[in-house]
Structure 1
Amino acid sequence: MHIAEGVLPPVILASSAILSAAGVCIGLKKLDYDRIMTTAILSASFFVASLIHVPIGPVSGHLILNGLLGLLLGWVSFPAIMVALALQAILFQFGGITTLGVNTLNMALPPVICFYVFRPMLSKGTFSLRMASFLCGMTAVALSALLTSGTLALGGDNFLNSAKILLISSVPVMVIEGLITAVVVGFLAKVSPQIFDFEIATSNSVVSAQTSPSTTE
């Protein structure tokens, strides 16, 4: 879902860059020192997962894993995703430097929203944990697809068909992302609950991870 350079008008690029910069500042402010390694690993996961692209006109479709980042990082998803997108733009020419702000906003805002919507469900039992994880992964991709398609449509009528194709092609990705997120979160809840900074449900009880709540709230 990278938007290429030369597609959007400068006003959209500038406004998106300002909003993304604000999100990155909030994320860095909430990033706890003890969570830097976790953030780096998740940023690398996002980087690797989104390297396999399927071209769709001026954009591309791929796995994102931003729902997983949202559940684990909250606002810290902004700097984590921005770093990954910047490296992709520099090393592989995916997206671009001028579109870094809009691509970051489209990829990072949905997981922050999903973090606040689905996080409370993680402490209500194993089934709720898995369902919340699935819905978070699916919804984050759906929102990113909607934002990217809407932003792309602002580029002019020539990109309307590409925006529609992107939305349609994202449907199977939503389901796959939901399943992957559910499996990963369920696994982490069993073997490494301390990675969460809030109460989570395990098969036997509710576990409260001993980390700083300031990271993602």
Structure 2
Amino acid sequence: MHISEGVLSPAILGLGAVLTVGGTALGLHRLDYDRLMTVAILAAAFFVGSLIHIPIGPSSAHLILNGLLGVILGWAAFPAILVALMLQAVLFQYGGFTVLGVNAFNMAFPAVLCFLLLRPLLSRPGPMRTMGAFCCGALSVAGAGLLTALSLAYTNEGFLQAARLLFLAHVPVMIVEGIVTTLTVSFLSRVRPELLRFASRSKGGIRA
């Protein structure tokens, strides 16, 4: 779901950069240093999972795993996704540096938002947690697709059709991501529940 260089308007590029800087600063501020290894591993998973691209006009479709990062990392999904996208731009020329802020925000913000909204379901064991995990995985991709489509549409009306195609092309990806997130959350809740953000507690209570 990378938007390529030279596509977006300066206004959209600037707004994306500002929002990503804010999200990344908040993610680093809330990051527990004993979870740095978890952030690094998930950034690597995001990096590898999104290497296989199917071109769709000015963008592409691929596995994102942003919902899974949101569930496990919370706000720290911002710096994890930003670093992974930066390495992809450097090593494989996916996306680019001028669109780095927009691409990072489009993928990280829906993941964090879905986690915050669905945390009550994720905190309850059984079918409710399963439903919450699936929705978090699927809706995070839907949100990323919607934000990417809006970024293109607000840049130029000529991209409107491509934006619609981009969003529709990610419907199968939403289902796959929902299943992957559900299976991973189910596994971690049994063997490593401390890795999950809805199970992590600090002195001030549950942190996002």
Q: TM-score range by the shorter chain?
A: over 0.9
8 Å CA contact 1:46–1:64 kept in 2: the answer is: yes
Distance 1:59 1:66, change over 3 A: same
8 Å CA contact 1:28–1:79 kept in 2: the answer is: yes
**Equivalent residues in 2 for 1:108-119, closer than 5 Å:** 108-119=108-119
**Equivalent-residue separation in structure 2 for 1:74 and 1:4 (angstroms):** 27
Q: Matched residues, percent identical? A: 52
Letter paired with 1:103? N
Once the two structures are TM-superposed, the CA of residue 127 in structure 1 deviates from its matched residue by: 1.1
* Residue 129 of structure 1: aligned partner: 129
**Equivalent residues in 2 for 1:43-54, closer than 5 Å:** 43-54=43-54
Secondary structure, counterpart of 2:155 in structure 1: coil
Secondary structure, counterpart of 1:55 in structure 2: strand
**Equivalent-residue separation in structure 2 for 1:194 and 1:26 (angstroms):** 21
Provide the TM-score with structure 1 as the length reference.
0.91
* Residue 3 of structure 1: aligned partner: 3
Letter paired with 2:78? F
Distance 1:58 1:212, change over 3 A: farther
8 Å CA contact 1:32–1:215 kept in 2: the answer is: no
8 Å CA contact 2:73–2:197 kept in 1: the answer is: no
Residue 156 (str. 1) matches residue 162 (str. 2): no
Once the two structures are TM-superposed, the CA of residue 149 in structure 1 deviates from its matched residue by: 0.3
8 Å CA contact 1:2–1:94 kept in 2: the answer is: yes
Letter paired with 2:102? V
8 Å CA contact 1:75–1:216 kept in 2: the answer is: no
**Equivalent residues in 2 for 1:1-217, closer than 5 Å:** 1-199=1-199, 209=200, 216-217=207-208
Runs (5+) with no aligned partner, structure 2: none
Letter paired with 2:55? P
Distance 1:67 1:173, change over 3 A: same
Q: Any idea what the Cα deviations from partners look like across 1:162-197, whole Å, max 9, x if unmatched?
A: 111101101110000000000011011111112124
8 Å CA contact 1:31–1:216 kept in 2: the answer is: no
Q: Which ranges of 4 or more aligned residues in structure 1 deviate by more than 3 Å?
A: 209-216
**Equivalent-residue separation in structure 1 for 2:105 and 2:206 (angstroms):** 19
Once the two structures are TM-superposed, the CA of residue 198 in structure 1 deviates from its matched residue by: 3.6
Aligned length: 208
Once the two structures are TM-superposed, the CA of residue 158 in structure 1 deviates from its matched residue by: 2.5
Provide the TM-score with structure 2 as the length reference.
0.95
